[in-house]
Amino acid sequence: MGQLSAWIRGCDQNHRICRWSRKRPSTDYKWLPRRLVDLSTFVDGDGSLVVRLVETATDPLPSDRRYISRSYYWGSSSTFRKLEVSSVQSLKNGWAANRLCQTFQDAFAASTRIGVKLIWIDALCIIREEADRDA
């Protein structure tokens, strides 16, 4: 994680566009993806991380709106959660991270370790029906 943190610091210090994106007003969301997973929400009663889906144009976001991306092969398996029209509202209410596949949990852990509270994971941020329609 040390090397990754150093790269991010380098971006913040040396890249004009990276500094610019961090100073954007909270009302400017157009440069963000349509949906992100918010890792800054809360911990449930048993100490598990609870994450929630946010619509960047309408939902409250952390003041630091940096995010990381994690692309994931969706495959045909239904053993992990995918975003579907019918599940958007429940995911916006929050869900226990430990109920998701280990790949997602690892991405959440890496993101929070480097201080980034938002993450874009295609399987969790693209509505499956929209992706199937656009394919």
pLDDT tens per residue, range 75-101: 655 555 678 888 888 889 888 888 888
pLDDT digits (tens, 9 = 90+) for 6-36: 887 787 788 776 665 666 555 556 678 999 9
Report domain extents, the chain.
28-134
Which residue carries 């969790």 as its tokens? 124
Does the structure show a pLDDT above 70 at 71? yes
The answer, as to whether pTM is greater than 0.75, is: yes
Q: What is the DSSP track for 78-134? A: -SS----GGGHHHHHH-EEGGGS-HHHHHHHHHHHHTT--EEEEHHHHS-HHHHHHH
Bridge partners of residue 57, in order along the sequence: none
Distance CA 93, CA 109 (A): 20
Please report the sign of the dihedral spanned by the C-alpha atoms of residue 83, residue 88, residue 94, residue 96. negative
pLDDT in tens, 34-64: 999 999 876 666 777 889 999 998 888 887 7
